[in-house]
Amino acid sequence: MFGISREKGVVGLDIGSYSIKAVELRARKKGDAEAYELLKIGYEPLPHDAIVEGTIIDSAAVVETIRLVFDENKISGKDVAISISGNSVIIKKISLPVMEKQELAESIIWEAKHNIPYPYEETNVDYAILKPSRSTEEKNLDILLVAAKKDKIANYSNVVNQARKNLQSIEVDVFALQNVLEVSYPEIFAEKTIALINIGANITNVVIVERGTPQLFRDLSLGGFFFTENIRKELSVSFEEAEKLLKGIPGKAATPDQFATLLAMNVRDLLDEIEKTFSFYEASEKKERRIEQIVLSGGLANVMNMQSAFENKFRIKTEILNPFRNIRVNDGKFDSIYLNEMAPLFSVAVGLATRKVEK
């Protein structure tokens, strides 16, 4: 979205607060549609506090980890697409009358200046038309206005350049998630209203797509580190010990029942925040709106009872996202058990890798 250059395939590089993921795909034609084959995949954890609340603190560690992901997994492609999220990224849905391209561009600038809580000069702005006019009777265009602070973009661009990779585009996490939902679940993407919840280390991304059209994007400042910190404080253990408990590794600090109770309290806080987002969506227009399916991804998607907690809270069918579900995978080259266990963590990386950078 920001800084697009030429048309070609890219390596999807997800620089998260906890780890770095890379995915390289090969696009191929399947009838009129585009299909994909998995070529390479890589995952490397980051040192703790290398990235804090979406800001790169230890750039040397991030650069080294990017290089490690590519080298250890023999990823030869150097052209990458990355994504950003958090408070430095603003996504707002606006409606404008149908107008000429030049007028639209001027109106977008005016809207950006009045809708972004940062000085316009400090941001990069882009937009996407959601519902282009199909007839002369159409009076309005639904537009997603996207703005990101320039220092955030520079923060992430610099580590990619220092790792000697060619940065081709900077996306927004939630758009990458929409991409992967469309590629992996085409049959429900076009027919249902879906909420995709990506529970990351620092941020939980919420994407609501209504029959193929994105309606709401939101980043919640709540994720795996929030869970880990609460567990650490409650049980008086180290961050590392709390992290192991969250991964399902038993410890001496708490019995399984005690930990399950503590985990449920943290999950409840997450669900309460997501409920507010759902309520905002359902009440945002006069017509009746209802979420028909929930799809979970991210590092906490597989945490004990997470899926059932969503189903019990919202009474909506919930499943764990498999971003490789509709992608050809050579079983002789990839460990199927590893892919199944790690799949939810690669959602953003796969979504980025499905992009073609436009000329």
pLDDT in tens, 301-317: 999 889 999 999 999 99
Determine contact, residues 180/233, Cβ cutoff 8 Å: no
| Pick from 213, 132, 133: nearest CA to 178 | 213
> How far apart, in Å, are the Cα atoms of 144 and each of 90, 104, 356?
10, 13, 20
Q: Encoding tokens for residue 339?
A: 């892919």
pLDDT digits (tens, 9 = 90+) for 242-257: 998 998 888 888 888 8
Structure tokens at 327: 């992608």
Residue 66 has pLDDT above 90, yes or no: yes
pLDDT at 47 over 80: yes
Q: Which of the four pLDDT bands, split at 50, 70 and 90, describes residue 135?
A: very low
pLDDT band of residue 93 (cuts 50, 70, 90) is confident
Q: Where are the alpha helices (DSSP H) in 99-223?
A: 101-115, 150-162, 173-184, 186-189
Task: Find the farthest-apart pair of alpha carbons in the chain and give their distance in angstroms, rounded.
Answer: 69
Residue 143 has pLDDT above 60, yes or no: yes
- Condensed to tens digits (0 to 9), the pLDDT of residues 192-211 reads 999 999 999 999 999 999 99
pLDDT confidence tier of residue 132, bands split at 50, 70 and 90? low
Over 90: is that where the pLDDT of 57 sits? yes
pLDDT at 238 over 80: yes
Over residues 128-154, the mean pLDDT reads: 77
**For residues 245 and 232, what is the distance between their CA atoms, to the nearest angstrom?**
10
Q: How confident is the model at residue 35 (pLDDT cuts 50, 70, 90)?
A: confident
pLDDT bracket for residue 6 (50, 70, 90): very low
| Predicted TM-score (pTM) of this structure | 0.90
Q: Is the pLDDT of residue 9 over 90?
A: no
Angle between helix 239-246 and 224-235 (nearest 10): 120
Q: How confident is the model at residue 3 (pLDDT cuts 50, 70, 90)?
A: low
Residue-range domains of the chain with CATH: 11-230+258-353 (3.30.420.40)
Tell me if residue 289 falls in helix, strand or coil: coil
Does the pLDDT at position 24 exceed 90? yes
CA neighbours closer than 13 Å in the CB half-sphere of residue 33: 10
Q: What is the pLDDT of residue 209?
A: 93
